């Protein structure tokens, strides 16, 4: 009997439950898809990725899954409580008829069980289906070949999904049980009389609250978009807290304020159904200020996370080609004590242990880096030191500038396939590509500067930095190399020696094989060198070593792996946040709509056209969805500025494309919820005559 009642209940309130069920299904499938990525990457024949990155990926995904599960659990609890509240009358009837609370709990339990079971089953089927599409994405992200396609199914992911969602549903059941035990018959009956919560807000107070919120936000915006090197963790957290509180205040004040503003335009307000439409929106927003705030913040986080994640990915593909123009860079960096480098002739060391370093290369170049102990950052920047300090709090002005001689530099550039340069005997040029450093460098250079390097007065050939770099890297982080004429250099000031080269290989596979072989040789040479030095010094005062083997393949696979992880996590969190936001708004809109059916009937009796009613409904739903999105958009403009400046440090510049991609995803999910909500609402208020 109870079972029958439950099933009938579900059947009857299918309109209310549809969007809830829909959300659960999406939640389950997303959860499955992202947890299945793990197994999918393992099944794909991926050449360009290390196991470590895979481990990192699976670790990160399971950690984020816990977070996602908490978000989804909160959403489910919110939604089920929300739907429960709408059934007070029904519960009151049960209790009046003498049904015990235990039985009511049992009804709810059975309902939750059926919904849970149904959503899990449907969600898993959809998840397994969509995860095949995900395979393609995985393959493209990890640059794996998809020639042999296999149907992938992850039992681990399925088990995890079932366990997590079972826990969530059990928590929901417990919450429902607690709710039923707490409820009193008198409250249930009285809740029928709709509480008229129309807070007639003082417009002056609203204004003041709004101003306070605007000021708070302006402060936080300025703080994060200003020179971000002045930011420490505490200020950032303060900004986030103030931002969140002010967002709440904005929604608190704006709902009343906007209505006031619209009302002051008498002509517009008293036209057609406008007065009705705006009053409806205002009352809807009024009752969910807190939810609106949460939704707005989730949208904001989504925009920033997704676009940053995509940016990082785009960048890595581009930068590998420009910033790693050759296959490998080999050297041994040795530092004594307080970072005093020692010159290690790499070719000689290799020869010493019986290897010919040049053997495997089609073309190669040896270059040296020089240091002049008396020529350091402080010396270069001179009077501009204060300016530099503002941006780079931790820059050591006593660290010496890197110097290269022109012939080395030109040889390297030829190998890199970049432009070469000429210098007069009394000239130098400055090479850099670190975007935050260049303007500071240019500040000095534009004044036509003369520097004392190795005892020679050299003047800058250009009034700006030349774009270039030395070390193979995924990021443009070369903060400055001074290129000087060969004649000026002091051979004893050499501190590092590198080989740059391209392998003598015809295919990718050969390159890869040679790369790992060379890496092994370097490892051996390095170990031997270290061992001998250890014996020589009897283990005392050992210098610090950096291995100094950087290959393009390695950088690329690391970069790809990390970018893939970032993309996945961004997508995962972003999509979950989007469906959570969409679901809350949709649920609220739909239930509100069910409650308002008689209002629409009344308007019809007053003679309002069907078209006018639909327009009013569209405006209500649209503005309701747009409101948090608009505030989130304003947040995002500044949030993204902050993110971009952070990303630029990491060498990312192409953010527009990512932003567009983010907008597409946002529109697809959030917009999808909006469209479903609008059409279901339209269906609910449809004239039944």
Partner 1 sequence: MELLKVQNVEKYYGNRSSLTKAIDDISFKVDKGEFLAIMGASGSGKTTLLNCISTIDRVTAGHIFLEDQDITALKGKELNHFRREKLGFIFQDFNLLDTLTAYENIALSLTIQKWPTETIDKAIQIVAGQLGISDILSKYPFQLSGGQKQRVACARAIVTNPRLILADEPTGALDSKSSGLLLERFNFLNNEYNATIMMVTHDSFAASYASRVLFIKDGRIFTEINRGSAKRKEFFDKIIDVVTLLGGDVSDAL
For 479, phi then psi, to 5°, come to -90, -5
Token pair for residue 12? 């009857």
For residue 267, the minimal CB distance to partner 1 (Å) is 5
CB nearer to partner 1: pick between 274 and 558: 274
Token pair for residue 230? 């002045």
DSSP readout, 559-626?
HHHHHHHHHHHHHHHHHHHHHHHHHHHHHHHHHHHHHTHHHHHHHHHTT--HHHHHHHHHHHHHHHHH
CB 510 within 8 A of CB 377: no
For residue 598, the minimal CB distance to partner 1 (Å) is 7
For residue 638, the minimal CB distance to partner 1 (Å) is 35
Judging by beta carbons within 10 Å of its beta carbon (0-12, 13-18, 19+), is residue 155 exposed, middle or buried? exposed
Token pair for residue 68? 């996602």
CB nearer to partner 1: pick between 456 and 604: 604
Ramachandran quadrant class, 344 (left: phi over 0; alpha: psi -120 to 50; beta: rest)? beta
Per DSSP, what are the bridge partners of residue 549? Answer: 330
Compute the distance between CA of residue 55 and CA of residue 555 in angstroms, rounded to an integer. Answer: 18
CB nearer to partner 1: pick between 386 and 598: 598
CB nearer to partner 1: pick between 538 and 688: 688
CA torsion sign, 12 to 620 to 683 to 190? positive
CB nearer to partner 1: pick between 4 and 267: 267
Cα angle 554, 557, 560; round to 5: 145
CB 591 within 8 A of CB 85: no
For residue 260, the minimal CB distance to partner 1 (Å) is 13
For residue 606, the minimal CB distance to partner 1 (Å) is 5
Q: Where are the alpha helices (DSSP H) in 375-507?
A: 377-381, 385-391, 406-416, 438-445
Give the HSE-up count for residue 577: Cα atoms under 13 Å, Cβ half-sphere. 25
For residue 616, the minimal CB distance to partner 1 (Å) is 11
For residue 284, the minimal CB distance to partner 1 (Å) is 9
For residue 112, the minimal CB distance to partner 1 (Å) is 33
CB nearer to partner 1: pick between 1 and 200: 200
Compute the distance between CA of residue 28 and CA of residue 165 in angstroms, rounded to an integer. Answer: 8
- For binding to partner 1 (CB under 8 A), which residues are involved? 194, 196, 198, 200, 266-267, 270-276, 279-280, 282-283, 598-599, 602-610, 612, 689
CB nearer to partner 1: pick between 277 and 557: 277
For residue 269, the minimal CB distance to partner 1 (Å) is 8
- Alpha-carbon Rg for the chain, nearest whole angstrom, is 33
For residue 272, the minimal CB distance to partner 1 (Å) is 6
For residue 682, the minimal CB distance to partner 1 (Å) is 17
CB nearer to partner 1: pick between 292 and 423: 292
CB 27 within 8 A of CB 69: no
Token pair for residue 554? 């390695």
CB nearer to partner 1: pick between 104 and 603: 603
Q: Where are the alpha helices (DSSP H) in 450-551?
A: 508-537
For 364, phi then psi, to 5°, come to -155, 165
Compute the distance between CA of residue 428 and CA of residue 422 in angstroms, rounded to an integer. Answer: 10
CB nearer to partner 1: pick between 200 and 506: 200
For residue 8, the minimal CB distance to partner 1 (Å) is 24
CB nearer to partner 1: pick between 270 and 290: 270
Q: Which residue has the tokens 């949709």?
A: 586
Token pair for residue 641? 């500025």
CB 650 within 8 A of CB 593: no
Closest to 307 (Cα-Cα) out of 603, 615, 666, 684: 666
CB 380 within 8 A of CB 451: yes
CB nearer to partner 1: pick between 270 and 546: 270
């Amino acid at each position: 009997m109870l079972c029958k009642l439950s099933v009938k209940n579900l059947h009857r309130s299918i309109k209310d439950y549809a969007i809830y069920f829909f959300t659960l299904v999406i939640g389950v499938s997303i959860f499955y898809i992202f947890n299945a990525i793990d197994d999918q990457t393992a099944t794909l024949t991926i050449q360009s990725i290390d196991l470590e990155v895979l481990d990192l990926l699976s670790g990160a995904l399971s950690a984020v899954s816990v977070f996602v599960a908490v978000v989804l659990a909160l959403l489910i609890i919110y939604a089920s409580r929300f739907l429960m509240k709408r059934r007070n009358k029904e519960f009151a009837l049960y209790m009046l008829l003498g049904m015990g609370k235990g039985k009511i709990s049992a009804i709810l339990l059975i309902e939750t069980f059926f919904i849970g079971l149904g959503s899990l089953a449907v969600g898993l089927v959809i998840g397994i289906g969509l995860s095949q599409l995900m395979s393609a994405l995985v393959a493209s992200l990890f640059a794996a070949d998809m020639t042999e396609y296999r149907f992938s199914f992850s039992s681990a992911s399925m088990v995890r999904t079932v366990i997590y969602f079972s826990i969530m549903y059990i928590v929901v059941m417990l919450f429902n049980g607690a709710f039923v035990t707490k409820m009193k018959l008198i409250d249930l009956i009285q809740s029928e009389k709709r509480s008229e919560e129309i807070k007639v807000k003082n417009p002056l107070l609203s204004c003041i609250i709004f101003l306070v919120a605007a000021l708070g936000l302006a402060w936080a915006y300025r703080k994060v978009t200003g020179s971000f090197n002045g930011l420490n963790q505490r200020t950032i957290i303060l900004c986030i807290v103030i931002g969140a509180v002010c967002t709440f205040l904005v929604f608190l004040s704006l709902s009343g304020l906007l209505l006031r503003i619209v009302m002051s335009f008498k002509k517009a307000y008293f036209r057609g159904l406008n007065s009705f439409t705006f009053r409806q929106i205002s009352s809807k927003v009024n009752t969910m200020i807190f939810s609106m705030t949460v939704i707005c913040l989730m949208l904001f986080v989504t925009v920033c996370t997704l676009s940053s994640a995509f940016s990082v990915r785009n960048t890595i593909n581009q930068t590998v080609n420009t910033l790693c123009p050759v296959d490998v860079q080999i050297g041994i960096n040795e530092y004594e004590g307080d970072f005093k480098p020692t010159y290690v002739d790499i070719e000689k060391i290799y020869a010493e242990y019986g290897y010919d370093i040049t053997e495997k290369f089609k073309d190669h170049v040896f270059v040296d880096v020089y240091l002049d102990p008396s020529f350091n950052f402080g010396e270069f920047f001179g009077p501009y030191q204060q300016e530099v300090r503002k941006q780079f709090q931790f820059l050591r002005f006593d660290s010496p500038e890197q110097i290269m001689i022109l012939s080395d530099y030109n040889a390297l550039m030829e190998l890199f396939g970049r432009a070469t340069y000429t210098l007069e005997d009394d000239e130098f040029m400055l090479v850099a590509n670190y975007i935050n450093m260049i303007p500071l460098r240019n500040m000095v250079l534009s004044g036509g500067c003369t520097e004392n390097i190795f005892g020679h007065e050299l003047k800058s050939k250009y009034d700006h930095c030349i774009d270039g770099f030395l070390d193979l890297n995924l990021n443009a982080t070369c903060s400055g190399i001074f290129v000087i004429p060969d004649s000026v250099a002091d051979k004893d000031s050499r501190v590092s020696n590198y080989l740059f080269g391209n392998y003598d290989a015809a295919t990718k596979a050969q390159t890869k094989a040679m790369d790992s072989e060379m890496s092994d040789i370097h490892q051996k040479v390095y170990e031997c060198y270290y061992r001998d030095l250890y014996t020589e010094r009897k283990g005392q005062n050992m210098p610090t070593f950096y291995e100094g083997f950087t290959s393009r393949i390695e950088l690329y696979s690391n970069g790809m792996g990390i970018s893939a992880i970032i993309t996945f996590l961004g997508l995962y969190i972003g999509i979950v946040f989007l469906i959570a936001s969409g679901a809350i708004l949709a649920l609220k809109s739909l239930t509100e709509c069910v409650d308002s059916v008689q209002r629409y009937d009344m308007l019809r009796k007053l003679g309002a056209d069907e078209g006018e009613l639909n327009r009013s409904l569209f405006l209500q739903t649209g503005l309701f969805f747009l409101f948090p999105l608009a505030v989130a958009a304003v947040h995002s403009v500044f949030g993204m500025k902050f993110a971009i400046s952070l990303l630029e440090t990491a060498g990312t510049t192409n953010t527009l494309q990512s932003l567009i991609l983010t907008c597409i995803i946002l529109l697809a999910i959030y917009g999808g919820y909006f469209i479903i909500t609008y059409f279901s609402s339209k269906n609910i208020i449809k004239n039944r005559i």
